[in-house]
């Protein structure tokens, strides 16, 4: 069984998905989330500043559990670990990425979007998976539909989660956490609106507690 990221989740089960473009944003952004109750972060490799931001936050923000998201390749898997990431997340897996994961004991949350992908990941030892893009796949109806045939798989749905549907997602029996960009969307990060991000984080932390 691959090490599960659930061992890292003792706090609220809401994971902000972050894109950090300006390295200067790394510390105030992470602090506005952690100080308001969201300590598990997913920093995506969707910007040039990402690896540097991961290193900065991992070294300087006490209490932060730094996850690295949007991992697509073995090279990114290695870079994420070298930067100090504590767990990894992918939107899906290729055969090559799966092979690399099989040789790694780094906590990892791989993405699945179909029953066949769920079963492939389950065979590879992943009983916790990211359901992505959750809303496009049918959202809560999809989670309910797969709860029968693959009831031993637990999901972190992301993609289309927002304050209006977050509670419903979290209340599903096969959901262990939810994630998304609504807490710190790019426009608020670009505007350096740490107060609003902190307010959203505090609201989200209440959901998962």
Nearer to ligand 3PG, 60 or 114 (CB): 114
Nearest-approach distance from CB 146 to ligand 3PG, in angstroms: 18
Out of 16, 37, 69, 157, point to the residue binding ligand 3PG (CB under 6 A).
69
Nearer to ligand 3PG, 60 or 142 (CB): 142
- Cis peptide bond N-terminal to 35, omega within 30: no
Does residue 11 bind ligand 3PG (CB under 6 A)?
A: no
Residues 169-208 that bind ligand 3PG (CB under 6 A): 179-182
Out of 11, 23, 84, 160, point to the residue binding ligand 3PG (CB under 6 A).
160
Residue length of the chain = 209
Alpha-helix residue ranges (DSSP H) falling in the chain:
26-34, 50-60, 74-82, 95-102, 115-123, 140-147, 166-170, 186-190, 194-208
Does residue 88 bind ligand 3PG (CB under 6 A)?
A: no
Q: What is the DSSP letter of 134?
A: T
Please state the separation of Cα 177 from the chain's center in Å: 9
Q: Give the residue from 116, 113, 111, 56 showing the smallest Cα distance to 89.
A: 111
Comparing every residue's Cβ against ligand 3PG, the nearest one is 180
Active-site residues: which are they?
42, 130
Does residue 158 bind ligand 3PG (CB under 6 A)?
A: yes
Q: What is the DSSP letter of 130?
A: E
Does residue 67 bind ligand 3PG (CB under 6 A)?
A: no
What's the chain's Rg over C-alpha atoms?
16
Q: Which residues bind ligand 3PG (CB under 6 A)?
A: 17, 44, 69, 132, 158-161, 179-182
């Amino acid at each position: 069984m691959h090490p599960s990221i659930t061992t890292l989740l003792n706090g609220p089960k809401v994971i902000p998905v972050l894109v950090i473009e300006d390295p200067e944003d790394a510390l105030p952004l992470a602090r506005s989330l952690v100080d308001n109750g969201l300590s598990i972060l997913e920093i995506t490799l969707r910007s040039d500043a990402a690896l540097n931001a991961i290193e900065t936050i991992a070294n300087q923000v006490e209490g932060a559990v730094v996850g690295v998201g949007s991992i697509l390749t073995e090279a990114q898997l290695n870079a994420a670990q070298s930067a100090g990431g504590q767990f990894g997340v992918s939107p899906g897996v290729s055969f090559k990425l799966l092979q690399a994961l099989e040789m790694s004991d780094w906590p990892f949350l791989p993405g699945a979007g179909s029953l066949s992908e769920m079963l492939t990941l389950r065979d590879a030892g992943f009983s916790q998976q990211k359901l992505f893009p959750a809303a496009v796949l049918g959202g809560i109806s999809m989670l309910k539909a797969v709860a029968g045939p693959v009831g031993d798989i637990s999901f972190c749905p992301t993609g289309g989660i927002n304050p209006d549907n977050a509670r419903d997602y979290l209340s599903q029996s096969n959901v262990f956490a939810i994630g998304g960009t609504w807490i710190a969307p790019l426009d608020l990060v670009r505007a350096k609106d740490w107060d609003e991000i902190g307010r959203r984080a505090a609201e989200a932390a209440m959901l998962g507690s």
